[in-house]
A and B are shown apart, each in its own frame.
Chain A
Amino acid sequence: MNVTAEQVIFLAFAVPLVAAAIGVVVARSPMYAAMSLVGAFFCLAGVYVLLTAHLIAFLQILVYAGAVMVLFLFVIMLLSLGGEGQQLDRLKQLQWLGFVLGGGGLMALLAWISREVAGAEMAAVGPDFGTIKAVGRALFTTYLLPFEATSLLLTVAIVGAVVVAKEKI
């Protein structure tokens, strides 16, 4: 099989990405899980760049790695959480069940994808595909209503978060 440079770069991002994602699940302490997830988001941003989604790649780092995960980190530090420690024994079987179910679902998905969408060709795209200008134009014309709805959603989320987390308002 002929391996191109782009495929090598893809693998260089994808393999650490999967490793970091597994790290999130197997990590004992929430802090390690969070740092693992930050690493995963970085690799994912690299994959996005390969897909010529430059704006989304930077938003990924800006919003996920820079804001959402810092929030997680802040909560972990604020609650000073340690490892998971003793888990409820009653649920051990349920955990195994979850592992089997989730893994089975994953296998089914993988099998389906490799059978159904094999050989689909990538479209040729212009140099401005995925740039800020192109995505911005789409957001402010075709997707204007969802865009405005998102701003409303964020406002509601801010108010909700303050109301829920604050002891006395």
Chain B
Amino acid sequence: MVPVQWYLLLAAVLFGVGLVGVLIKRNALIVMMCIELMLNAANLTFLAFARQQGNIGGHAIAFFVIAVAAAEAAVGLAIVIAIYRTTGSVNVDDVRELREEG
């Protein structure tokens, strides 16, 4: 039997890797992939606790997280395409038209 904290540690590592990626990567697509990674880490935690408590609710939440992630990816990628069309770049640092100068 695999103890539950192994799953939690794995989820924490995934979340941390995703977090580092979101913070240091500048390519909008890779940033979104790292967000997917973090969502998956959250899912893994839900499922681990669902298994530990014997409660099916965790599976339902994981289902919703997957649906939300799919919606997020669709809208996010549409935004990336729109930005690429206007600025010719997918670098998140290039998108600062609304920022005040100085």
| A contact residues vs B (CB 8 Å cutoff) | 4, 6-7, 10, 14, 17-18, 21-22, 24-25, 27, 30, 33-34, 37, 40-41, 44, 47-48, 50-53, 55-56, 59-60, 63-64, 67-68, 71-72, 75-76, 78-79, 81, 84, 87-88, 91, 95, 97-99, 101-103, 105-107, 109-110, 113-114, 117-125, 129-130, 134-135, 138-139, 142-143, 146-147, 150, 153-154, 156-158, 160-162, 164-165, 167
Contact = CB atoms under 8 A, between A and B. Distances in A.
B14 A17 contact: yes
Interface of B: 1-10, 12-27, 29-30, 32-34, 36-37, 40, 43-44, 47-48, 50-54, 56-57, 59-60, 62-64, 66-75, 77-82, 84-85, 90-91, 93
A21 B7 contact: no
Interface of A is mostly: helix
B63 A88 contact: no
Select the residue from A14, A21, A59, A121 with max chain B CB neighbours within 10 A: A21
B64 to A, nearest CB: 6
B51 A75 contact: no
Contacts, number: 251
